[in-house]
A and B are shown apart, each in its own frame.
Chain A
Amino acid sequence: MIGSTKVQARNGGFVSDVFAISRRALRSVLRDPESVIPGFIIPLFFFAVNTGALQNFVEASGDFDYKAFQLPVAIIMAVTGPLSRALTLVEDVRSGYFDRLMMTPVRRLALLLGLMVADIALVLALTVPVLVLGYAVGVRFETGLTGIVVFVALAAYWGLGFAGFSYAIALKTANAAAVSSSFMIFLPLMFLTPMFIPLEAMSGWMATVAQYNPVTYLLGSLRSIILVGWEIDEILKGVLSVSAVVAVSLTMALLALTRRVSRQ
């Protein structure tokens, strides 16, 4: 009688697996908003402090919109850092829930991709307050609405690439403290760049380091989209350098996933 419905267990299908996993991750975020509130506040804080402290000083050196110059910094801060679902992954491994998923026919790659899809959704949400604040203080995109879309997409692409490192660490170590320390990668990547002043104005060792930092070119692309217009080669430089980071971090994450699910 009850329960005698024909139940035919089978593989759920890759796309279905990915969305099932990401839905769970996003639900957890909504129920635990404290974990993402800093992610909303920190970029706004930096934007206010950086422009408040340096605007007059930098703008005195020439024709310059420092607020527009700083908006990409805020966006990168919003999409990078402690926001990936890697900590969820650590909790799952620790609690045994990861094993439970492993005993289902779920595609192993979906366990990682599902979380990344959730990350992208979250990252897009995090760019909204920064864009709104930018608009409120008078920042306008030279490239118009399409420019805003490309701007956000490029930032999200970077966010995903950075998240790859935290997933690699999470899958390799299953240790929350180790995952949090991925913040240590973020500091040099973010600060050893023309974050405060243009690259041409930088000097000494920091200028040298910044030339080899992929975030420098990401910043270059984002600034060009706001301040200049469609400079294809500037944008391409950003896309390529972010792609290099994505390639490295996702390879590391995939290797760590393969090891984690290897049944050894």
Chain B
Amino acid sequence: MKGEDAVVAVSLSRSFGAVKAVKSVNLSIPSGEIYGFLGPNGAGKSSVVRMLTTLLLPTSGSARVAGHDVVTEPTAVRLKIGAALQEAALDDKQTGRELLELQSRLYGLCGPVTNKRIDYLARLLTIEESLDRLIGTYSGGMKRKLDLAVAMIHEPQILFLDEPTTGLDPISRVELWDEVRRVNEEKGVTIFMTTQYLEEADYLAQRVGIISQGRIVAEGSPSELKRSVGTDIIVAKINGQTSGPAENCRQVRGVESVEVSGNEITLSVHQGSKVIGPVAIALDQYGALVEDIVLRTATLDDVFLHYTGARLQVDAGIAIKEVP
């Protein structure tokens, strides 16, 4: 499919009863890209992935994956995609090799090709040692790697990874990031990845789409998105009410926008080092009890806050929720 993007969605929508989970999502992801789909739980990420991987029909709109329509040509799509969906879905009572062989058989691959693929993937993902052990004995990181291998057994053109590192410890997470990047670089596999982790999208994705309440609210490379909210960020934590002090800050020269989330005031500014002094004075003039004030460069979290009015909160790298 020369010239056609690996994933194309046009006004893709999905309702569950009265609930509109996905609202008119448009996507065009070129071949070879790592695309990060960023949003909190319940934002509609998984529904989009389930539609693109032929598990769920759209209510309206359409999508083409690897050049085939997901509604009318599901089998053609299935042959060209691989997917690792949330929480490594494996079978504890099989060995890694047995599960890979089963998967390979379902794609009609013969024994010798299967063995070569297993050898290759085991080396690529460094799981050779555990291949013949029962999956029940694997660590969380190991399972995710096997999950990735299973998704890739038939050499798919496009990989869908739904929250590939949720629940992993930080070391395993970084390790998996490197595997994902290697898969992308070595084989030119297009990767569509959902995540709740900003660092993950920042580290891996060439482009990021931010989804909130079923809608894509911003899209671009991580640096473009960060630039869109200003170069520097000042965050002031206030003990007490925030709207008054926030108003005062808005008057300060160099402050581009002001967002309030919980007891935090977040300011997008130019040349933060020059603005932080006047901001501190403005807060003091109001009589606000400032617990903490920080100047830093923008992160995707700030982007998320800017576009959705809510902050993605990461608690100890595990739980995450949208804070109004």
Contact = CB atoms under 8 A, between A and B. Distances in A.
Contacts of A24: 91, 94, 98, 102
A92 B93 CA distance: 12
Contacts of B126: none
A104 B107 CA distance: 7
Contacts of A31: 93, 134
B89 to A, nearest CB: 3
Interface string A1-26: 01101111111110011001101100
B296 interface: no
Given A7-B117, A12-B108, A24-B98, A97 B91 contact: yes
Contacts of B113: 5-7
Interface in B75-127: 75, 78-81, 83, 85-87, 89-91, 93-94, 98, 102-103, 105-109, 113, 116-117, 119-121, 123-124
Interface residues of A, number: 35
Contacts of B165: none
Contacts of A95: 87, 89-91
B57 interface: yes
Contacts of A5: 113, 116-117
Contacts, number: 108
Given A7-B117, A97-B91, A103 B108 contact: no
A104 B56 contact: no
A24 B90 CA distance: 12
Contacts of A11: 75, 108
Contact of A102 (B55, B102, B121, B124): B55
A109 to B, nearest CB: 14
B163 to A, nearest CB: 12
B155 A9 contact: yes
Given A3-B124, A7-B155, A105-B106, 7 more contacts: A6-B113, A9-B108, A16-B105, A16-B108, A24-B102, A99-B85, A102-B55
27 contacts: A2-B119, A3-B121, A5-B116, A7-B109, A7-B117, A8-B108, A8-B109, A9-B79, A9-B107, A9-B108, A9-B154, A11-B108, A12-B105, A20-B106, A24-B91, A28-B94, A92-B91, A96-B86, A97-B91, A99-B89, A100-B150, A104-B103, A105-B75, A105-B79, A105-B107, A105-B108, A263-B56
